[in-house]
Amino acid sequence: MDNNNYQGTTWQIRFKLDNVDQSSSYKLRVAIASATFSELQVRINDPKANALFTSGLIGRDNSIARHGIHGLYWLYNVDVPAKLLVQGDNTIFLTQPRSSSPFQGIMYDYIRLEAPPNSTPNHE
């Protein structure tokens, strides 16, 4: 970072599913407590795939720079087709690709994947 070069980042959420209900879509809920000149991209099980969802440019508050606990709240509900999920190991990739400043970033509040309403629960 001494030469003012910055890079976007990708977070991975790894989880197992005992079964996948192929008859419906799953719902990924992403609540963001703050974002500063950022973008959220969501991919499922393939980090190089086209993004299932992108927020576009979001956030103009300065809570990242001032280490605040929250800024403007954002909530995204992303439909995840069951065909993207597999029985066994799965990964959700959350990418923030923008990288022109050290203060660009996303502060997550919560991330939740919901099965279709009539699915069999995933017991572990």
| Contact in structure between 122 and 45 (CB atoms under 8 Å) | no
Which tens digits make up the pLDDT trace of 1-25? 467 788 889 999 999 999 999 999 9
Helices (H) and strands (E) in the chain, counts: 0, 8
Look at residue 1 in the predicted model and tell me its pLDDT: 47
pLDDT at residue 117 tops 60: yes
Which tens digits make up the pLDDT trace of 78-104? 999 999 999 999 999 999 999 888 878
Provide mean pLDDT across the span 53-60: 93
Q: Which residues contact 10 (CB under 8 A, 6 or more apart)?
A: 47, 93, 94, 95, 96
Domains parsed from the chain with CATH numbers: 9-114 (2.60.120.260)
pLDDT at residue 35 tops 70: yes
Please classify residue 27 by burial: count the beta carbons closer than 10 Å to its beta carbon, then call 0-12 exposed, 13-18 middle and 19+ buried.
middle
Alpha carbon distance 16, 29 (integer Å): 18
